[in-house]
Copies of this chain bind each other. A is one copy, B any other.
Amino acid sequence: MPKPRSFPALTLFVMATAGRNLTRTAYVAVLTGVVMMVLLTVDPAYEAAHHWVDAVLWACLSFFTFEWVVRLRHAFHARRIRTYALSGRGLLDAVSAIAIPLALILGFDPKTAWLLGIFWMFKVVPGIPGLRQLRRVLVLESGPLLSVLVLFLMVLFLASVVMYFLERDAQPMAFGSVPAALWWAVATLTTTGYGDVVPITPLGRLIAALVMICGLGVFGLWTGILATGFAAETRRDNFLRTWESVSKVPFFAALGPAAIADVTHMLRTMDLPARTMIIRKGQAGDCMYFIAAGEVEVDLPGKKVTLGEGAFFGEMALLGNNTRSANITTTRVSRLLVLDLVDFRLLMARHPDLGETIDAEAKRRALENK
């Protein structure tokens, strides 16, 4: 987020526009810009409202140009303008701001020039949540994935050459050259099957059938590799994320890392929106909750108690009392760690002191709530 020092007017404008939330504004601008760019190409829609469309497109462009200038200026003050300008992010910002005006100046048709607005879309990339994880899987499994790709290409070329040989006389238009046959092969091997080019000789159809079955095989290999990669990555990722959450709960901080690792393996992370009822009075309960982030409200008879980060609740369900004794609701977006009855028993067996702490706290709270 830019923190320009001597740029008051612009800063004020940014604040006014974006309400301290430049990123969110940028997302809205990207969405609006791309939709307008799409509309620009639809003749009836554009003719009906071209003033609006043009105005919004120019506004988006201005916003991205302004964003780029602010970032450049901030980087200049932080003496790392070179780093920023040559980074992927910096280049994307530059292209988002300059490409369209440049194309217009170079005399391109406006409808073509504005198509470059598709680059705006990439500004969203850093905000995609699981992307880092996805990329990691692709990197880790790049070896087998590439070898499947090479196999894919080899089958593709082989099929094309064989098909060109078999079908060129029967269909000189569709299979008149190997590139033409490649077009057929790629549509077939990916099981897309447009049907615009189809073999008609019996031998050609036999080869086509084999190519389709190979397509299934390639697909299966690809998926198998990715599934395996995901399983490994998910295991690793979950562990790290929960570990971080667990170590924030003061309750577990007292335990050693071996025990924390133990707990980490057992807790499930649960992200809840604000004003969600977690526990309903009178329900049967089978788990307890730790608050990793956020806040909950316990609706006790006569008063409301607020529990914040690090607190826990629902522990009576694990200590023998199955019926929930109060409604508990989140007051804002919260991350809870859920400990199931089954896992709790295991944990108690391994770390008796944990049980004692929970017990003591439960007694204290029961006394307090009287």
- Name A's B-contacting residues (CB within 8 A): 34, 37-38, 41-43, 112, 115, 118, 121-122, 124-125, 128-131, 133-134, 137, 143-148, 150-152, 154, 157-158, 161, 164-165, 176-179, 182-183, 186-188, 190-196, 198, 202, 205, 208-209, 212-213, 215-232, 234, 236, 239-240, 243-244, 247, 253-262, 265, 268, 270-273, 276-280, 283-287, 324, 338, 340-343, 345-346, 348-350
19 other contacts beyond A121-B154, A130-B147, A216-B222, with CB at 8 A cut-off? Answer: A38-B179, A41-B178, A125-B154, A133-B147, A152-B213, A190-B216, A191-B193, A192-B212, A217-B222, A220-B226, A220-B227, A224-B225, A228-B231, A239-B271, A243-B272, A257-B270, A257-B341, A261-B338, A349-B350
Chain B hits for A41, CB < 8 A: 164, 176-179
Identify the 7 closest CB pairs spanning chains A and B, nearest first: A224-B226, A130-B147, A192-B193, A194-B195, A261-B346, A224-B227, A130-B144
B118, B137, B262: the one within 8 Å of A157 (CB)? B118
| A219 vs B122: C-alpha distance when bound (angstroms) | 21
| A272 vs B154: C-alpha distance when bound (angstroms) | 28
| A350 vs B232: C-alpha distance when bound (angstroms) | 23
Q: A191-B190, A279-B256 are in contact. Are A227 and B216 (CB under 8 A)?
A: no
| A109 vs B220: C-alpha distance when bound (angstroms) | 39
| A247 vs B145: C-alpha distance when bound (angstroms) | 28
9 contacts between A and B (CB under 8 A): A124-B150, A131-B147, A216-B219, A224-B229, A236-B271, A240-B273, A247-B276, A258-B287, A349-B350
Question: Are A239 and B190 in contact (CB-based, < 8 A)?
Answer: no
Closest-by-CB residue of B relative to A45 is B177
Closest-by-CB residue of B relative to A148 is B134
The complex is assembled from copies of this chain, and their number is 4
Chain B hits for A209, CB < 8 A: 182-183, 186
| A284 vs B134: C-alpha distance when bound (angstroms) | 23
| A271 vs B145: C-alpha distance when bound (angstroms) | 16
Q: Chain B's nearest CB lies how many Å from the CB of A45?
A: 8
Chain B hits for A213, CB < 8 A: 152, 186, 190
Q: Chain B's nearest CB lies how many Å from the CB of A50?
A: 14
Question: Are B164 and A146 in contact (CB-based, < 8 A)?
Answer: no
Q: Chain B's nearest CB lies how many Å from the CB of A96?
A: 14
| A243 vs B275: C-alpha distance when bound (angstroms) | 13
Closest-by-CB residue of B relative to A260 is B345
Q: Chain B's nearest CB lies how many Å from the CB of A252?
A: 12
Question: Are A227 and B234 in contact (CB-based, < 8 A)?
Answer: no
Closest-by-CB residue of B relative to A127 is B150
Question: Are A192 and B215 in contact (CB-based, < 8 A)?
Answer: yes
B143, B215, B226, B244: the one within 8 Å of A190 (CB)? B215
